[in-house]
Amino acid sequence: MHFTHLLTATITAFAAVAVAAPSPSADICLKICYAEEPECASPSYAQQEGACWTCCTPS
């Protein structure tokens, strides 16, 4: 019985670490939709995504 709980906890811990690992090359973008190109604070930059503009920060 203890082995089952230990195995479940171990698998859950490895799964949580794998999901939480960020992509090394992904920039972080705001989830806001500007109609026009915004002025983003440095080091962020404006990026158009579809009909929306947002500010992204290099990772």
Would you give the distance in Å from CA 19 to the centre of its chain?
11
CA 40 – CA 54 distance, rounded (Å): 8
- Mark residue 17 as left, alpha or beta (left: phi above 0; alpha: psi -120 to 50; beta: remaining): alpha
For the record, the structure tokens of 54 come out as 């947002």
The predicted structure's pLDDT at residue 6: 65
What are the tens digits of pLDDT across the range 1-48? 576 766 566 666 655 555 555 556 699 999 999 999 999 999 999 999
pLDDT at residue 16, rounded to an integer: 58
* Integer Cα distance of 58 and 31 in angstroms: 15
**Predicted pLDDT at 2:** 76
The confidence score (pLDDT) of residue 27 equals: 94
This prediction has a pTM of: 0.55
- Residue 58: pLDDT band (50, 70, 90) is very high
CB atoms within 10 A of CB 54: 19
